[in-house]
Amino acid sequence: MGRKPKTKTERQKNEEAKNKKPNENKMIPRLRGIRDILPDEYRYWDLVLNKAESMIKYYGFLRTETPVLENVALYERSTGKQTDIVSKEMYTFIDRDNERVALRPEATPGLVRSYIEHGMFSLPMQPVKLYWIGNLFRREKPQAGRYRQFSQIDLEIFGEAGAVADAQIILIGYNLFKELQIDAQVQINSIGCPNCRPEYVKKLIEYYKQRPVRNKLCPDCKKRLIKNPLRLLDCKEESCVNARAAAPQIIDHLCEECRDHFVKVLEYLDELNVVYTLNPFLVRGLDYYNRTVFEFWSEDSEQGRQDALGGGGRYDYLVEYMGGRPTPACGWGIGAERMILKIKEKNIPLVDANQPNIFVAQLGEASKRKAMNFFEELRRRGYKAAQNFVKDNLKAQLELANKLAVKLTLILGQKEMMDGTILIRDMESGMQEVFDFKKVYEELDKRLK
């Protein structure tokens, strides 16, 4: 009988793995929950961002920018240490200067800091109306329409306490979805103020402390009952949704000022024909909100599902709490990825505003040089033209012109160079005509009119 072969010990395996050279040519994949946006998809991004900017600017909002990196304390103070964004989802690290730094998880705290730091309360134009477009970072579980790096459009009004501000920002979001052909509904509620909310929270705690109700709560909500009871209404777990069915509604406990404010907001929305649904369980996931809160849901949303397209509300105490002077404020954030997902789901046709209708083709080295100068002149004059000067084969150039679905192809060859002419080919009929090069723009204007 032969000897039984020895099996490798765990230590030997670890040593071999340590000494094994890594494959330097192996591709390094992207991180989980973070994705590339390829050129073809950028058509959707251009549509959404261009439409949003155009509409927001029409209402008098000015663009601003804030850093991707901020002090962790900014979000701990503004958003609340118990909020999931701060406690679970922030990307944080300590830099070489021993400062606690965070990748931006939401836009509003940075905008509030910027408002205070740059003394915007003294600007001649009041209220201050700002918009922001950028990337946010949260370590959430990736799913459809939700990524760990995502883009958001953010709108803020600083210095206006009236209900008209709430109504206008809701109207802008509502109109944006309509312009993009996304069927969206407004879910709206009021969560009161520091004067009336405490009494309501007491009644909410009394309700949830009942044993049959408490037993239905998920582990997170059992903690929220002690730390942040209002967030019990925001949980999406099925058992917690069932538990809140008979919970007291905050709208029944608003003080007179909060009730009047909310009624005015709804009256404005009625006058503006904004379709909305009163949602007594809507509280939003951030602690700094007061009075009006709202979300935009797609028409096929089911209550309780986390598929809101965006949302916001009023935060009248945050600026002062962050070190500024008392300043009423309100705003919203809308996720760009979620809007794009809805556009794709509906197969909404995209119209490319930069679609070329002219292709410049060339044949021969001298013709290529002239064609390149000609193409630059077309650009300066505002024509929408395309080219592929790296190709020398005319057939390959015409094939690309066909793919681009241009109306006309302008061809410069050796003969055209000698004669001072240019060949204009109608791509639909295939007919070609020779024209004096000096009259080419006149002919283009006639054909493209």
288 is in an annotated binding site: yes
442 is in an annotated binding site: no
Strand partners, 434: 423
289 is in an annotated binding site: yes
168 and 269 Cβ atoms separated by less than 8 Å: no
* 48: CB partners within 8 A, 6+ apart: 180, 336, 339, 340, 343
117 is in an annotated binding site: no
Q: Alpha helix locations (H) across 244-278?
A: 256-271
The CB-based long-range contact list for 193-198 (8 Å cut-off, 24+ gap) reads 193/255, 193/257, 193/258, 193/290, 193/291, 193/316, 194/290, 194/317, 195/255, 195/257, 195/258, 196/253, 196/254, 196/255, 196/258, 197/230, 197/250, 197/290
144 and 33 Cβ atoms separated by less than 8 Å: no
Mark 282-308 as b/e (b = at least 16 C-beta within 10 Å): bbbebbbbbbbbbbbbbeebeeeeebb
* 92: CB partners within 8 A, 6+ apart: 72, 100, 101, 102, 103
147 is in an annotated binding site: no
108 is in an annotated binding site: yes
179 is in an annotated binding site: no
The CB-based long-range contact list for 348-351 (8 Å cut-off, 24+ gap) reads 348/180, 348/181, 350/43, 350/44, 350/47
Nearest to 227 by CA among 37, 80, 427, 432: 80
CA 180 to each of CA 145, 166, 293: distance values in angstroms, whole numbers, following the listed order: 17, 22, 23
Amino acid at 193: C
11 is in an annotated binding site: no
156 is in an annotated binding site: yes
Annotated binding site for L-histidine: 106-108, 138, 152, 156, 284, 288-289
Annotated binding site: 106-108, 138, 152, 156, 284, 288-289
